[in-house]
C-alpha cells in the first residue's frame, strides 16, 4: 500500500537544504526524487517514512538513488513539504 501524501507542494528554498544540495555528487538523482515526491501516491521505491524518534513529529525521510546512496529529510508544515537536508544515510541519520 502506497503512503498517503500529506502535502500538496514542495519548498526547496531553506538555506541549509541549498548548502547540502551543492555538496551532493549526483544532483540529477536528487532532482528526480524531488519530482517523484509530487506524484500521488508517492512511489514506494523512495521509502517515504516518518521519523519516530525525533522530537518534531512532522519530519519524514526518503531514500534517493538505485542503491539508496543518499537520503533526504523534509518537514511537513500544513500542506507544504519543506526540504531540510540531503546527504548520505549517515549524515541524515545523525542530523535530519
For residue 46, tell me if it sits in a domain.
yes
Tell me, yes or no, whether 73 lies in a domain. Answer: yes
On whether residue 39 sits in a domain, the answer given is yes
In whole angstroms, give the CA distance from residue 3 to residue 93: 21
- Count of structural domains, the chain: 1
Is residue 85 in a domain?
yes
Residue 2 in any domain: the answer is: no
Residue 4 lies in a domain: no
Q: Is-contact 36 2, C-beta < 8 A?
A: no
Encode pLDDT of 85-94 as tens digits. Answer: 999 988 988 8
Distances (CA, A) of 89 to 26, 40, 86: 15, 25, 9
Domain that holds residue 26: 9-94
For every one of its 96 residues, what pLDDT tens digit does the chain have, with 9 covering 90 and above? 556 688 999 999 999 999 999 998 888 999 999 999 999 888 889 999 888 877 667 899 999 987 778 999 999 988 999 999 999 988 988 888
The one-character DSSP state at 73 is E
**How many angstroms separate the Cα of 58 from the Cα of each of 6, 16, 81?**
10, 18, 10
Q: Report the predicted TM-score, pTM, of the whole model to 2 decimal places.
A: 0.88
CATH code of 22's domain: 3.30.2310.20
Q: Which helix (H) or strand (E) holds 66?
A: none
Amino acid at each position: 500500500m502506497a503512503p498517503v501524501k500529506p502535502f500538496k507542494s514542495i519548498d526547496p528554498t531553506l538555506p541549509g537544504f541549498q548548502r547540502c544540495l551543492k555538496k551532493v555528487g549526483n544532483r540529477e538523482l536528487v532532482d528526480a526524487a524531488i519530482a517523484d515526491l509530487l506524484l500521488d501516491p508517492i512511489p514506494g521505491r523512495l521509502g517515504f517514512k516518518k521519523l519516530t524518534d525525533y522530537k518534531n513529529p512532522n519530519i519524514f525521510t526518503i531514500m534517493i538513488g538505485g542503491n539508496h546512496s543518499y537520503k533526504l529529510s523534509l518537514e511537513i508544515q500544513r500542506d507544504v513539504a519543506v526540504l531540510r537536508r540531503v546527504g548520505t544515510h549517515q549524515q541524515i541519520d545523525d542530523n535530519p
